[in-house]
Structure formats: structure tokens, C-alpha cells
Amino acid sequence: MKRRRSVAVTAACAAAAVVLAACSSSSSSSTSSVTGPSYGQAITSVVNPSTAKGGTITFDLTNVPDSTDPGNTYYAYMWNFTRLYVMPLMTYVSTPGSGGLQVVPDLATGPGVVGDNGLTWTYTIKPNVKFEDGTLVTSQDVKYAVERTFAKNVLPNGPSYFQVLLGGNAATYPGPYTDRSKNVMGLTAVTTPNSTTVVFHLAHPFADFNYVAAIPQTAPVPPDKDTGANYQLHPISSGPYMFQSYQLNKQITLVPNPNWNPATDPQAKQLASKIIVNLNVNANDIDNRLMAGDIQMDMSGTGVQAAARAQILSSPSLMKQADDPISGFMWFAYINTKVAPLNNVACRRAVEYAADKVTMQDAYGGPVAGGTIASTAMPPNIVGYQSFDMYDALSQPNGDVTQAKQELTACGQPNGFTTSIAYRSDRPKEVAAATALQAALAAVGIKASLKGYPSGTYYSNFAGSPAYVHSHDLGIDFGGWAADWPDGWGWFDEITNGNAIVPAGNTNISELNDPVVNSLLAQMQQLGSTPASRASLANQIDHQVMSDAVMLPIVYAKSLLYRSPSLTNVFVQSYYGMYNYATLGTNSG
């Protein structure tokens, strides 16, 4: 998955027939220090809280968005940015800390109401939500928004959860652009009994559906304003801002939506008088402009470049305006269960113990720009995460040679064995990490050949092709992952479920088919699961995956973000792993 790339929470949870793991209690601070800003402050608190209106917030971006169309985007920063101009059915609580992983109603009055033994999810639209032109948002606008995501020939970029999860004619529905007279409102799996009710009819129960409803694809689109691929030039706003102009490849300008009602959209604010996004700006220039105060935000949210990192970390005045949050992305290596002798779990555990996490962390950029040394199979911003250290990654981060050799003896390879390490040859950090792992494995007798492949076809033709992995002895395959929503199923299903193994474009690169893991994942989607049980299941999956030794965790990725002093209401949203764009204001006047 591309994404990194998940209010009264208690009341919201109680109202739902099936509740989410994200509704479990969590603690976070929403206060700002009275002594001035400090390094990392926005990770746990709101910096410069203010209700003042006015001023311009300027974002810079190194390239262009995959799309500003909420139905056609799959980048984390765009899912974050779309909250400025659209309201999906559900969204995430705008708060720092773990509370930012909680999914709550946005356009809907409450979480989905589950019926028909888990096969229907019903949402009620808030009354008096209006588009930018003053027309009322209806359930039909939500249905149409979902319908248009089926036209992958027109809108290819977004995720495909509706195509996979919905029943009815979802398997054959072509979207609304072919024969519009027939196909507009023609998706039978989504019904609208009245103007404020939308019902999703699933092919099978799926307890995570509220997370799917939080994807921007459920933001309403009026059918008569849809221009297909060109809709991105002016998506019709239901949020606090609307498009004033979009100069392709140059600049986007947003201004306040006069028909937005803050009472209906409590997770967003309308403080700035204008929001400008400059496109195709050099990355180092963005950093310089950010630190000079010429702009307020690097839109990509992935952190400053090497030169700016050195400058910030060596300057107390700059450093107090910086944060280094866990991004939600994780770097690790898959250990394949079908390539001998790694088909023996003890041989896989030898790799786990032998790895030098410090040298690999350095390869990815160190503790600030690279990440925190990882010891689990899922990162801290997934609901259900609990720290544990099964292979001494934290207690002996340079590797446990003694234990590695014991595991080699247990797997019948006391003198070591040979295998290959696959990695993306056009990614210098990954090349360095693979080289570091090769050296650590050699210290216990494991001889690993390095095999580099281009990133563009890495998952389609090489690491993601089981036949190629087997025939080329690719026992260890570098990669990374990010979940589309922050619970254990969203993290683990594609990379550890046995049913995810496919001949091409495979994401379960370890080829794990553990009945325990498969069963735990299935339990997470059962009707009636509770927040506590879902968090517990995620933790059990994490322990089982690590016991199977099919993932070699390296780092929980981090980014060094610079926080402009002129911004107000600044905090890191845990779900996005970057600053929350929906609540920003400015004190620059």
C-alpha cells in the first residue's frame, strides 16, 4: 500500500453496533508550554494554540500531487491536505499523541450502524452540510463519490477497497463515465433510502469498515459538477476551504468556503485567509525558505534534507522549532519461509539475532533522520502496539552472536549457510543497510550475496515474484510498509496473511502462511469484536509474526520536521505521521 502510505469518543463507540479498536482509551496532551517552544513539543502537545483568524499559509511541494481529487489520491500528505476542503464520512481526531489514531464521524452523525449480520453499514449524513455553492450535501452525493472510484481508467490512483469489499454488482460495475444515463447511481451495493441515509452492502463482514469510510473517497461529489479526470482542478468543497485557482504544475490557491459550518466539522478549522501551495520546488530550496520564514510548511511531510538537518541540529534556536515523530512507516527485511535453509525457523532466528541494528540504523540516516531501532513487527502508531524485544534488538543492538550461533546449531547449520539479500539498488540507504546486514551475518558464518534491483520493478518482477525469489535464492528481501489505517489488520493483513500470497506483485514476501496468524486476522474482522479484543489480537499477531521470524525489524521510521514559528495550532497527527494540516492558523497577520 502506498500510504504510510488511523468528539466524544466514548459516546461514539457506544453508539456503534460494532466498535473499532481505535475507540479504546488513549492519553495525549493538548496543552502548549508556557516557556516557549521546544524540540519535539508538537509530538505530544499543541504548539501556539490560537483562534485568531487571518493571514496566509504557504506550502511548498517538491513535485505535484498524485491528484487533488479526493477520490483519486493515495499519498499520505494528500489525505491530510484534503481535510481542508472535503468532509469524508469519518475522519481522525485532530489531537496530538495516541488520540490522533481514533476514527470519529465527520460528514456522518456517528459511526456506521451494522446490520444484516455484518453485511450492511448504514451512515446518516449530518443535516445542513452545504457545498461551496450553498447546495445541500445529500446521501446521493456520497454514493456518487464512491461510484466514480470504480472507474480506474479515469481515476486510477486511489485505493480499491470498495471494489473488494462491496457486494451487489461491484464486481462488474464500470463506474459512472461509461453510459452515464445508465451507470450514474447504478452501483447496487450502495443504496440511499432517503437524502440523509447511505447504506453499504458488503460481500462479507468487515469490522474495519469505519476506517474505509474515513478515506477521502467517501467525501461527497455532486454528480452534475463532476468533470472526471479534470475534477482535480476544482473539487467542489464541503470543508473549510475551497479552490480559488489551480495552475497545473505551478500553484494551488485555497480561500475560505463561505458555506462551511464549523459546528458540523469539529476536526477542522478555518483560520487562515488564504492557503497557497507552490509546486515543483527544489527540496533544498524548500528547507531554506522554511527556515527563513518565507513559507510555513513543507507539504510532503517527510522531513528536511541532509543539509538542513545538520543546520537545525547544530542550532539551539532552530532545533526548538523542530520535531522528530515516528512517521508510521517501517523499514525491515522480509525473511522468506520457502528458500532453504531459511524454511527452518531456527535459521531465520539466527538472522534475527545476528543483525547489527546500529549499523543498519546508521545506514537509514541515524536515530533522527532514519528512525528508532525496531524490535517488533508493527510500529508504535498502530493500535495494539506494545514494546517487546524477542531477539535482543534493544538490549544488544549490535547483535547477539552467541545466541545466533546457538540457533544455527539448532537448525542444523552450525557453520552457517549461504543465501542472498535483495534490495533496491537505486536507493543508497537501502544499499548501505543491505551491506551492513551482510557484514553482520558473515560474523556468524552466514554468507549472503548482495543482489540489487531497480525500485520501479522491485515488487512486480523480483521480490514480489515468489517464483523469482525461489529460483534466485532471495532468502532476505529488504522493504518497508505503511498501513492505510492504524490497526493491526490494516498493518498485517497484506504482509502476513497466507491469502495475500500471489504469483505477481506479492506483498507477503516472506510467504508466511501460519494458521495462527491467519486465524487472528480473521478474528479481527468478526462481528462483535471489542476495542480491547482487537488491540489484544493485534499484539498477539505481532508476537506470533516475530516468533515465526519472518520479518527482521530495522527502524520505526522518523522524520525531522521544521515547525514555522508563524504557525498556530501546530501538532503532529499520529495517524499521518506529520503535522495536521486541517487545524493550522498563522500569527503573521
- On whether both 376 and 411 belong to a single domain, the answer is yes
The reported pLDDT for the residue numbered 3 is 41
Report yes or no on 495 lying in a domain. yes
- On whether both 486 and 567 belong to a single domain, the answer is no
pLDDT tens-digit readout, 524-540: 998 887 778 999 999 99
Report yes or no on 1 lying in a domain. no
Q: How far apart are CA 72 and CA 229, in angstroms?
A: 9
Report yes or no on 466 lying in a domain. yes
- On whether both 141 and 51 belong to a single domain, the answer is yes
Residue 341's pLDDT band (cuts 50, 70, 90): very high
Residue 31's pLDDT band (cuts 50, 70, 90): very low
Domain count, the chain: 2
Residue 35's pLDDT band (cuts 50, 70, 90): low
Q: How far apart are CA 128 and CA 134, in angstroms?
A: 10
Nearest in space to 299 (alpha carbons), one of 290, 288, 310: 290
Query: Are 330 and 482 spatial neighbours (Cβ–Cβ below 8 Å)?
Result: yes
- On whether both 576 and 509 belong to a single domain, the answer is no
Mean pLDDT of 97-110: 96
The reported pLDDT for the residue numbered 529 is 78
- On whether both 71 and 40 belong to a single domain, the answer is yes
**61: which 3 cell numbers?**
511541494
Residue 317: partners with Cβ closer than 8 Å, 6 or more residues away? none
∠ CA(34), CA(37), CA(41), 5° rounding?
100
Lowest-confidence range among 15-29, 53-67, 164-178, 203-217? 15-29
Q: Taking 80 as the threshold, does the pLDDT of residue 302 lie above it? A: yes
Q: Pairing between strand 90-92 and 103-105?
A: antiparallel
pLDDT tens-digit readout, 211-257: 999 999 999 999 999 999 999 999 999 999 999 999 999 999 999 99
**492: which 3 cell numbers?**
498485517
pTM of the model: 0.91
User: Furthest-apart CA pair in the chain: how many Å?
Assistant: 74
Q: Pairing between strand 56-60 and 297-298?
A: parallel
Residue 372's pLDDT band (cuts 50, 70, 90): very high
- On whether both 567 and 554 belong to a single domain, the answer is no
**72: which 3 cell numbers?**
483519486
Report yes or no on 461 lying in a domain. yes
Q: Taking 50 as the threshold, does the pLDDT of residue 6 lie above it? A: no
What residues does 135 pair with on adjacent strands?
A: none
The reported pLDDT for the residue numbered 4 is 34
- On whether both 89 and 205 belong to a single domain, the answer is yes
Peptide bond connecting 159 to the previous residue in cis, omega within 30 degrees of 0 = no
The reported pLDDT for the residue numbered 566 is 97
Count of C-beta atoms within a 10 Å radius of residue 33? 11
Report yes or no on 115 lying in a domain. yes
- On whether both 383 and 493 belong to a single domain, the answer is yes
CATH number for position 136: 3.40.190.10
Report yes or no on 257 lying in a domain. no
pLDDT tens-digit readout, 556-580: 999 999 999 999 999 999 999 999 9
pLDDT tens-digit readout, 400-458: 999 999 999 999 999 999 999 999 999 999 999 999 999 999 999 999 999 999 999 99
59-89: burial string, b at 16+ Cβ within 10 Å, e else = bbbbeebbbbbbbbbbbbbbbbbbbbbbbbb
- On whether both 341 and 487 belong to a single domain, the answer is yes
- On whether both 345 and 221 belong to a single domain, the answer is no
Q: Taking 80 as the threshold, does the pLDDT of residue 589 lie above it? A: no
- On whether both 503 and 577 belong to a single domain, the answer is no
Round the average pLDDT of the chain to a whole number and report it: 93
Mean pLDDT of 382-387: 96
Cell 476536526 appears where?
267
The reported pLDDT for the residue numbered 33 is 43
Count of C-beta atoms within a 10 Å radius of residue 250? 12
Cell 501538532 appears where?
571
Report yes or no on 297 lying in a domain. no
- On whether both 451 and 576 belong to a single domain, the answer is no
Q: Rounded to 5 degrees, what are φ and ψ at 185?
A: 65, 30
Q: Taking 80 as the threshold, does the pLDDT of residue 28 lie above it? A: no
pLDDT tens-digit readout, 395-409: 999 999 999 999 999
Q: How far apart are CA 54 and CA 59, in angstroms?
A: 16
Report yes or no on 186 lying in a domain. yes
Mean pLDDT of 34-54: 91
Q: Taking 80 as the threshold, does the pLDDT of residue 124 lie above it? A: yes
- Radius of gyration of the chain from its Cα atoms, rounded to whole angstroms: 24
Q: How far apart are CA 144 and CA 279, in angstroms?
A: 30
**270: which 3 cell numbers?**
478555518
Nearest in space to 157 (alpha carbons), one of 79, 68, 214, 74: 74
Cell 443535516 appears where?
127
Residue 588's pLDDT band (cuts 50, 70, 90): confident
Residue 458: domain span: 326-558
Report percent pLDDT > 90 for the chain. Answer: 91
Residue 165: partners with Cβ closer than 8 Å, 6 or more residues away? 202, 203, 204, 206, 209, 212
